[in-house]
Each structure stands twice: as structure tokens, then as C-alpha cells.
Amino acid sequence: MVLTSKPKAEFLKDRLVLQRQFAVSNTLDHPDEDALQRFQAEGVQGWIDTANHVEHDHGVTTARRAITDDGQLIWAVAHPEQRFAYSSAAVDPNDAMEEARSAWFARRQIGVRWKDVAVLRLDVLLNGAHFSVTREDAYGAGLCRVGVDKRLRQAGFAQVFAFSARKVAALSLIETQLAYVLFAAHLRHIKRTHKLVRHQDPFPASSAIAGI
């Protein structure tokens, strides 16, 4: 008799269902056969349990229990104004939602200065840069931590802590999110180099970038 192992997907779904025992009773919907669904967001793929969720802001922000294809339990935090859910490895769903809100805020702060981002990228491509780009810059730019770590592992860069700004600028022409990371790295470099006081704008105008 040949013993066959249960498919990996079934193990993942079983483990995800077990998380329901830790759910607060009033946040666990009546599960049905369609409660477990596939999801993909910012480089993270896995299964999400739509029956196990926590809501904030009168139901506007929702954290749903999920598990990645490599077995990491996460919370997938969704908001109607965000195109993709934010994946958080936090144990507490409230911490996950706070992490997501902070990331979305950081992304907006850079997004409203897109002209500065574009000028900086061009300057780095043409003239190089005096700063490197780190994993922490990706976090600071509002990228999903779980997704960043997964992509670095897949690319064989799990133990690499700094990247060339020019390479990141070039890749950002294909992957727009990297432009946010480049800008966050630049702001970090300016703050460290010039020791700017807190709350002072380290990047006052687009015209100043050309001289960097």
C-alpha cells in the first residue's frame, strides 16, 4: 500500500482554519465552503479566511486572517481606498492594522511629491548617488514588509543589506514601487548627513535636486 501525503494547499488551509479558535466570537462569521479564498497582494500569495476578521473605523478597515504559500500566518489588511491589501506578520490584528495605516501614510507622503521623485531618479541615473538603498528604506517607503522580505529571499538577497541607488533607480523604471524606496533612501541620507532638525523638510524643492 502506497501512502500519499495530503497536498500542501490542504495543509495550509487546515492550519488557517485552526486559527478560528483564537478569534473573538463576534468577529467570526459563519464559515462556509467558500470562506477560504486565494489572494495575492504586493508579492505575497496564499490563502485568506474571509470568515475570520477584525474591523476598525466602523468596518472601513478590515484585517483578515491569512497564510502565505510558504506557511507564514499573517493578517491581510484591506481598505477601500487601497488597491491591494497590506500583509502584516503581527500577531495582534490591531497591531497589523496600525502597521498598515502607517505604511499607507508613508506611501502617500511620497506620492504627493512625485515630481521630486522623478527628478531624483533621473539625477541618480545620470550622475550616480552618494547613498545606498536598504531594506529599511523599503519599509519606510510603505512597502509591505512581508512582501519585501519574500522578494529578497526569492532573489537570493536575504543576507544583502544595501543596494546601489543607481540600480534601484533603473529597476524603478519597470517596478514603480522602487521609486518610492529610492526617495525614502534619499531622505534618510539627507537627514543623516546634514543632521536636520526634526520636522524640517529635507527636500524643499524639486529645483534643489539637480545640485545633489
Identify whether 143 is part of a domain: yes
Residues 78 and 154 in one domain: no
Identify whether 107 is part of a domain: no
Identify whether 73 is part of a domain: yes
Low-confidence ranges of the chain (pLDDT < 70): 1-6, 24-30, 33, 194-212
What does residue 95 show for φ and ψ, rounded to 5 degrees? -65, -35
Identify whether 104 is part of a domain: no
Q: For the sheet with 61-68, list strands across it.
A: 36-41, 44-56, 61-68, 73-78, 86-88
Q: What is the pLDDT of residue 195?
A: 59
Residues 62 and 139 in one domain: no
Give SS3 for 57: coil
Question: H-type helices in 44-176, by residue range?
Answer: 93-111, 114-127, 135-140, 145-154, 165-171
Residues 131 and 69 in one domain: no
pLDDT digit string (tens) for 168-195?
999 999 999 999 999 999 999 988 876 5
Q: Residue 77: which residues within 8 A CB-CB, separation 6 or more?
A: 61, 62, 63, 64, 85, 86, 87, 88, 96, 97, 99, 100
**Cβ pair 168, 133 in contact under 8 A:** yes
CA 164 from chain centre, in angstroms, equals: 21
Q: What is the pLDDT of residue 157?
A: 86
Q: Which residue has cell 523638510?
A: 201
Residues 127 and 45 in one domain: no
Total domains in the fold of the chain = 2
Residues 23 and 73 in one domain: yes
Note the pTM of the prediction, 2 decimals: 0.81
Give SS3 for 34: coil
CA–CA distances in Å: residue 16 to residues 43, 54, 65, 69, 88:
20, 15, 8, 11, 15
Residues 149 and 207 in one domain: yes
Residues 135 and 84 in one domain: no
SS (H, E, C) 164-205: EHHHHHHHCCCCCHHHHHHHHHHHHHHHHHHCCCCCCCCCCC
Identify whether 50 is part of a domain: yes
**Cβ pair 121, 180 in contact under 8 A:** no
Q: What is the pLDDT of residue 22?
A: 82
Identify whether 45 is part of a domain: yes
Give the residue from 75, 98, 103 showing the smallest Cα distance to 87. 75
Residues 19 and 87 in one domain: yes
Residues 142 and 57 in one domain: no
Q: What is the pLDDT of residue 27?
A: 61
Residues 118 and 78 in one domain: no
Identify whether 118 is part of a domain: yes
Residues 84 and 117 in one domain: no
Q: Which residues pair with 55 in a beta bridge?
A: 62
Q: Which residue has cell 544583502?
A: 160
Residues 118 and 207 in one domain: yes
Q: What is the pLDDT of residue 90?
A: 96
Q: What is the pLDDT of residue 203?
A: 55
Identify whether 97 is part of a domain: no
The domain of 46 spans 8-91
